Amino acid sequence: MKTLFRILVALPAILFVVMGLRWAVDPSAAAEALGMTLMAGVGLSSQIGDVGSFFLGMGIMMLLGLITAQRSWFQAAALLLALAAAFRALSWLLHGAALTPDMIAVEVVLATVLLLASSRLAEGK
Amino acid sequence: MRLPSRRSVARGAALLLAVISAGMSPVVHAARPNVVLILADDLGFSDIAPYGSEIQTPALSALAQRGIRFTNYHTAASCAPTRGMLLTGVDSHRNGVPNIPETIPPEQAQYPNYRGTLGHNVATVASLLQSAGYHTYMAGKWHLGKSPDLLPFRRGFERTVTMADTGADNWEQKPYLAIYKKANWFADGEEFELPKNFYSSRFLVDKTIEFIASNAGDGQPFFAYIPFQAVHIPVQAPQSFTDKYMDTYKAGWEKLREQRLARAQQLGIIPPGTAMVDMSTTGDWESYTADEQRYHAKRMAVYAGMVDAMDHHIGRLINYLRQTGQYDNTVFIFTSDNGSEASGGDDPRSLAMRIALWQQGYVNDYDTLGLKGSFNTIGPSFASAAASPLDFYKFYAGEGGMRVPLIIAGESIPEGARLTNAFAYVTDITPTILDMTGVSPPSGRFGGRPVESIVGRSLLPLVRGDADRIYSATDTIGYELGGNSALFQGDYKIVLNIPPVGDNEWHLYNIVKDPGETNDLKERMPERFNKMLAHYHQYTVANNVLPLPANYNQAFQGIANGTLDRFGPQILLGLLSLIVLLPFLLLYRSRNR
């Protein structure tokens, strides 16, 4: 079971690291993958800085959780993902954004996996 | 005293009125000619009827009847360097385009004059004409840079529809090489989507007519630049044009090369008794099976159809100008950007080739050859025939790569249907246009910044019949492109062609008596050879010609540059990801050991 959890955490962690780095290397493609258009000026700075660090930071936290077996790393990543899902829902409810149930579902499921991993993989610590 | 008749009085009054009205007319531009500059792509020396071709090109033949054909005109042997020199009159090593950017090695690309894009240190003929009150239009291939500040819309063209790459599909908006993510078309500086019923030659002439019509009658003359995609690969043509030539090439490329040699001699394009060589890349037609011969004959039929279609659409433009009363005041300049293109090999149906084409979304089966979704080439053997009777083809400094047709025509040109054997060079086109239109060349500065001086010379004295030659027997014109090198002086040329087709050795030819470059005079005229070689070295120093890195291979460099350009971010992302993830993996393994 522990191996399964490690795989379930490691694969998205690697994906998030790559997604984060992509904002630094090829921002137009990274933006396109998330349904955004690439901005200019301050907007571009925020896009690359904030979105890139979100993905890269989250991926690194998940990897640190796997290595150190400290539950706070998993919990921090789960918190970020759960908030992302909540803000997506709010953007649809309050601001007329498109409803993205597939993305919300992935974020909720992954946050749940991370919370479970925080108790299973950090057992005995 | 005899009084003048009523008719002669009326004539005199009309003449006086005409003189007065011409002198007082507020539309001073009306007398200046319109200029249509037509550039074919990869068209060989003998690919049009006025130069000995069997391909039917009635519009170009009619232009040749109303103008002057240059039989000793030279251009660069590759696309972008020609376009840079054509539009500026400045040597390619000074205008930023000494080679196509796709094949410039990184050792050279770090220098400003080796970026492969048209520098801002030169003024285009369009900029100069625009500032002199001309409308300036462009419809066609640019290939001198695709960032917003480098597109033709920012280089003096008032209205544009342009394809920025080395080439693209002729039937749809589709890249023809894997190095491009898409075919980069722009209209007036903005990204542009081609219409569904697109065929390149028809579309480009339609847009040119649209541009001209949009300002017709406002009294300002126009300059229209039409760099066709024809006949660059993929060689594609409407079926009705291809059908005309289905039986034309059944005798093969060797026969075609001989037929064109004979016709070019009859027309006076080349001197009687001109010899020619068989290129090492030319296959033995008889060694091919009947099925293979049938396939190759159709490859060339599609090529002929593409040339024919281009001519047809040039004819439509000429008819439009006639119908709107603008023809008589228009000068036409027709030429090609380099010699015939040999890519595609003589075994295009090999498994490897078909897989490569399939990956790009193309097929090359016999039935649909040349149609939408089909990728056609003519290969080195027919390319040599297309350059008949010259040696070599595109990319090489042999005459087959550099000598191409040039026709300057119009109702205003005296004594139509003339031939000139005087040497002319691609940098001469811009000063010729400026001379025709009465526009001054830039003198050190243009648009608020310093610019290179034009090195070409006006061909107008030749066009008017006032001179027999523009360059004297002592003038020298140097040339270098990707290691292929030449220097012209009087009737002579020294030339070096690099492998794989060239031997990397210098040779000396009299290209007036021996345009086929069959008789090397290096041993018989050592003094001339050494002097010309010294002039060539002076040219390389004066123009900052950079040496090629050791083991430079144009094809490999093209693949390397293309891969980096197309997949560079992905490669970098992969490397960065590896660098970030590797420490985590090592830490994880050490902790779980």
Q: What percent of chain B has pLDDT over 70?
A: 95
Amino acid at B217: G
Q: Are B534 and B544 in contact (CB under 8 A)?
A: no
Q: How many CB atoms lie within 10 A of CB B325?
A: 10
For B354-367, how does the pLDDT look when each residue is reduced to its tens digit (9 = 90+)? 999 999 999 999 99
Q: Count CA within 13 A, CB hemisphere, residue A25.
A: 18
Q: Which of the residues B79, B232, B312, B507 is marked catalytic?
A: B79
The CATH class for the domain spanning B39-328+339-542 reads alpha beta
Please compute the mean of the pLDDT values over residues B69-85 and round it to a whole number. Answer: 98
Please give the structure tokens belonging to residue A41: 């000026």
Q: Which of residues 45-64 of A touch B (CB under 8 A)?
A: 56, 60, 63-64
d(CA A108, CA B536): 71
Name the band, by pLDDT with cuts 50, 70 and 90, for residue B412. Answer: confident
Contact A66 B588 (CB under 8 A): yes
What mean pLDDT, rounded, does chain B reach? 93
Tell me the per-residue pLDDT of B153-195, one tens digit each, with 9 for 90 and over: 999 999 999 999 999 999 999 999 988 889 999 999 999 999 9
Grouping H, G, I as helix, E, B as strand and the rest as coil, residue B242 is: helix
Print burial letters for B65-98: b (CB count within 10 Å at least 16), e (below 16).
ebbbbbbbbbbbbbbbbbbbbbbbbbbbbbbbbb
* Nearest-by-CA chain B residue for A18: B577
- Please give the structure tokens belonging to residue B259: 């037929």
Contact across the interface for B570 and A24, Cβ inside 8 Å: no
SS3 B315: helix
B571 at interface of A, judged by CB pairs closer than 8 A: no
Strand B190-191 with B476-481, pairing: unpaired
User: Quick check: B29 pLDDT over 60?
Assistant: no
Q: Find the catalytic residue in B74, B93, B143, B507.
A: B143
The mean per-residue pLDDT over the stretch A48-59 comes to 96
The first and second tokens of residue A75, run together, are 């919990």
Residues in A touching B590 (Cβ below 8 Å): none
Q: Is the CB of residue B337 less than 8 Å from the CB of residue B82?
A: yes
In contact, B35 and B436? CB cutoff 8 Å: yes
For residue B364, which amino acid is it? N
- Closest-CA distance, A33 to chain B, in angstroms, reads 14
Chain B residue closest to A29 (CA)? B569
Domain boundaries, chain B: 39-328+339-542, 550-582
Both tokens of residue B185? 């078309």
CB-based contact, A21 to chain B, within 8 Å: yes
Strands of B4-127, DSSP E: 34-40, 67-70, 73-74
Between chain A and chain B, the number of residue pairs with CB atoms below 8 A apart is: 33
Answer whether B581 touches A (CB < 8 Å).
Answer: yes
Alpha-carbon distance A34 to B378, whole Å?
44
Residue B62's alpha-carbon distances to A59, B68, B318, B321, B382, in angstroms, are 70, 11, 10, 14, 26
Catalytic site includes residue B312? no
How far off is chain A from B584, nearest CA to CA, in Å? 7
Q: Which tokens go with A10?
A: 């490691």
Which of A21, A29, A64 comes nearest B580 by C-beta?
Answer: A21
Q: Is the pLDDT of residue B480 over 50?
A: yes
What residues 79-98 of chain A have any CB closer than 8 A to a CB of chain B? none
Q: Give the closest residue to B76 by CA, choosing from B9, B143, B21, B15.
A: B143
DSSP H or E segment with residue A77 = helix A71-95
Chain B partners of A60 at a C-beta cutoff of 8 Å?
580
- List pLDDT tens digits, range A58-70: 999 999 999 999 9
Q: Please name the member of B572, B581, B591 whose beta carbon is closest to the beta carbon of A17.
A: B581
pLDDT band at B59 (very low <50, low <70, confident <90, very high): very high
- Across the interface, of B572, B581, B591, the residue whose CB is closest to A14 is B581
Answer whether residue B421 shows pLDDT above 60: yes
Q: Ramachandran region of residue A42, left (φ > 0), alpha (ψ -120 to 50) or beta?
A: alpha
CB-based contact, B324 to chain A, within 8 Å? no
Shortest Cα–Cα distance, B582 to chain A (Å) = 11
